[in-house]
């Protein structure tokens, strides 16, 4: 082979046998990453929300931000709530019953008929009216507050009545049905109420009749 003269200064060296120059190395050393697979490149993960982290999957049922397995109100804390509600209801019943008794006594005195038969009849009428007033106040109290979610005592103890499936408030119609079940549960020696102590979801008979649960928040 004939010797070739060296290239002049400042010129590129001759290409190697086979043609072409090898690609220059990447800056900083190393090799570039492999090309993306056929059919499209790699998609980056979605950015996190502004508050940081990724959102959790939505939890089914029970609303108000509650988890899917709520904490049911136990028998004894519900007993305490019912006791407190009984005291709350008894205050206006006592006041109205006292007013009714005074009004009946005044009416008998004004009539001037003070014989024992008239007095007994007036007392019986006053007692019946007082019982009616007590029943109306009690029913109205529980239907109103159960329909909205919780009575005053339940609010104090962080309890609420909710639909057994969705966890939403039950409304006044379901609250009336629940109160009817409450009466049924009470007249059979309170067995329907005690049932909540042994039920897996702490439901008494009135809860099962109205398809409700008591949740402790």
Residues with Cβ within 8 Å of residue 169, at least 6 apart in sequence: 147, 148, 149, 161, 162, 163
Report the alpha-carbon distance of residue 23 to residue 33 in Å, rounded: 15
Q: Are 71 and 149 in contact (CB under 8 A)?
A: no
How far is residue 103 from each of residues 98, 130, 164, measured CA to CA in Å? 9, 12, 46
Beta-sheet pairing, 212-216 with 159-163: antiparallel
* Per-residue model confidence (pLDDT) at position 126: 74
Residues with Cβ within 8 Å of residue 22, at least 6 apart in sequence: none
* Per-residue model confidence (pLDDT) at position 148: 94
DSSP 158: T
Other beta carbons within 10 Å of 182? 21
Q: To 5 degrees, how large is the angle CA 11–CA 13–CA 16? A: 155
For the chain, list the strands marked E by DSSP. Answer: 159-163, 212-216
Q: Are 184 and 209 in contact (CB under 8 A)?
A: yes
* Per-residue model confidence (pLDDT) at position 57: 43
| End-to-end alpha carbon distance in the chain | 96
Those residues of the chain that have pLDDT short of 70 are: 1-68, 107-116, 118-119
* Per-residue model confidence (pLDDT) at position 213: 96
* Per-residue model confidence (pLDDT) at position 54: 44
Prediction pTM value: 0.64
* Per-residue model confidence (pLDDT) at position 165: 92
Q: Are 207 and 215 in contact (CB under 8 A)?
A: no
């Amino acid at each position: 082979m004939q010797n070739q003269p060296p290239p002049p200064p400042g010129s590129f060296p001759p290409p190697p046998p086979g043609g072409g120059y090898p690609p220059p190395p990447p800056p900083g050393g190393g090799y570039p990453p492999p090309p993306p697979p056929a059919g499209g490149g790699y998609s980056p993960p979605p950015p996190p929300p502004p508050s940081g982290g990724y959102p959790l999957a939505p939890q089914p049922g029970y609303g108000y931000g509650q988890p899917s397995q709520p904490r049911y109100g136990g028998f004894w804390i519900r007993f305490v709530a019912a006791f407190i509600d009984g005291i709350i209801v008894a205050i206006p019943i006592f006041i109205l019953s006292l007013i009714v008794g005074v009004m009946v006594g005044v009416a008998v005195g004004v009539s001037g008929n003070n014989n024992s038969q008239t007095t007994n009849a007036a007392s019986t009428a006053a007692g019946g009216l007082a019982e009616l007033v007590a029943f109306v106040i009690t029913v109205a109290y529980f239907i109103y507050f159960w329909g909205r979610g919780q009575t005053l005592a339940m609010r104090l103890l962080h309890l609420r009545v909710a639909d057994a499936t969705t966890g939403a408030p039950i409304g006044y119609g379901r609250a009336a049905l629940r109160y009817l079940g409450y009466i049924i549960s009470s007249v059979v020696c309170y067995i329907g109420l005690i049932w909540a102590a042994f039920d897996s979801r702490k439901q008494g008979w009135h809860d099962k009749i109205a398809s409700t649960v008591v949740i402790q928040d």
